[in-house]
Chains A and B, each alone.
Chain A
Amino acid sequence: MALTLSDVKRIAHLARIEITEGDAEQTLGQLNDIFVMIERLQSVDTSRIEPMSHPLGGSQRLREDAASIPDVRDVVLGNAPAQQDGLFLVPKVIE
Chain B
Amino acid sequence: MSAPELSRKSVAELGRALSARSVSAVELARSYLERIDRHKDLNAFLDVRPEVTLAQARAADARIARGDATPLTGVPIAHKDIFVTRDFASTASSRMLKGYMSPFDATVVEKLAGAGMVSLGKLNCDEFAMGSSNENSFYGNVLNPWDKTAVPGGSSGGSAAAVAARIAPAATATDTGGSIREPAAFSGITGIKPTYGRASRWGMIAFASSLDQAGIMTQSAEDAALIFNAMLGFDPKDSTSVERPAEDYTRALNSDLKSLRIGVPNEFFGEGLQPDVEKAVREALAEYVRLGAKLVDISLPNAELGIPVYYVIAPAECSSNLSRFDGVRYGHRAAQYGDLIDMIKKSRKEGFGPEPRRRILIGTYVLSHGYYDAYYIQAQKVRRIIADEFQQAFQQCDIIAGPVTTSVAFGFGEKAADPVSMYLSDLYTIPGSLAGIPGMSIPCGFGAKNRPVGLQLMSNYFEEAKLLGVAHRYQQATDWHTRIPGGF
Interface positions of A (Cβ within 8 A of B): 3, 7-8, 11-19, 27, 30-31, 33-34, 37-42, 44, 46, 49-56, 60-63, 70, 72, 75-76, 78-82, 88, 90-91, 93
Contacts and interface: CB of A to CB of B under 8 A. Distances in A.
A90 to B, nearest CB: 6
Interface in B351-389: 352, 357-358, 360-362, 364-366, 368, 374-375, 377-385, 387
A8 B434 CA distance: 28
21 contacts: A11-B364, A17-B349, A18-B349, A27-B361, A30-B358, A30-B419, A51-B377, A52-B384, A53-B380, A54-B196, A55-B195, A55-B210, A61-B240, A63-B239, A75-B102, A76-B330, A79-B329, A81-B330, A88-B328, A91-B340, A93-B340
Given A30-B358, A79-B330, A91-B338, A11 B210 contact: no
Contacts of B387: 52, 55
Nearest to A56: B197
Contact of A54 (B240, B305, B312): B240
A79 B100 CA distance: 6
Given A15-B361, A79-B329, A91-B338, A34 B311 contact: yes
A12 B348 CA distance: 11
B201 interface: no
B345 A46 contact: no
Nearest to B380: A51
A27 to B, nearest CB: 7
Contacts of A18: 342, 345-346, 348-349
Contact of B420 (A13, A15, A37, A81): A37
A90 B352 CA distance: 20
B309 A41 contact: yes
A8 B361 contact: yes
A20 to B, nearest CB: 9
B4 interface: no
A17 B352 contact: yes
A7 B101 CA distance: 37
A17 B327 contact: no
A55 B339 contact: no
B381 A16 contact: no
A62 B238 CA distance: 10
B149 interface: no
A49 B381 contact: yes
B101 A78 contact: yes
Nearest to A71: B103
B18 to A, nearest CB: 32
A42 B378 CA distance: 8
Nearest to B334: A18
B385 A76 contact: no
A39 to B, nearest CB: 8
B260 to A, nearest CB: 25
Contacts of B362: 31, 34
B461 A56 contact: yes
A15 B360 CA distance: 7
A8 B102 CA distance: 34
Nearest to A50: B384
A44 B338 CA distance: 47
B361 A55 contact: no
B175 to A, nearest CB: 12
A81 B361 contact: no
A79 B98 CA distance: 10
A8 B365 CA distance: 9
B413 interface: no
Given A55-B210, A79-B330, A17 B345 contact: yes
Contacts of B365: 3, 7, 11, 31
B361 A33 contact: no
Interface string B206-239: 0000100000000000000000000000001001
A55 B340 contact: no
Contacts of B358: 27, 30-31, 34
B381 A51 contact: yes
B312 A41 contact: yes
Of A52, A78, A81, the most chain B CB neighbours within 10 A belong to: A52
B101 A44 contact: no
A82 B419 CA distance: 36
Contacts of B305: 40-41, 44
Contacts of A90: 328, 340, 343
Contacts of B103: 70, 72, 75-76
A56 B309 contact: no
Interface in B138-196: 195-196
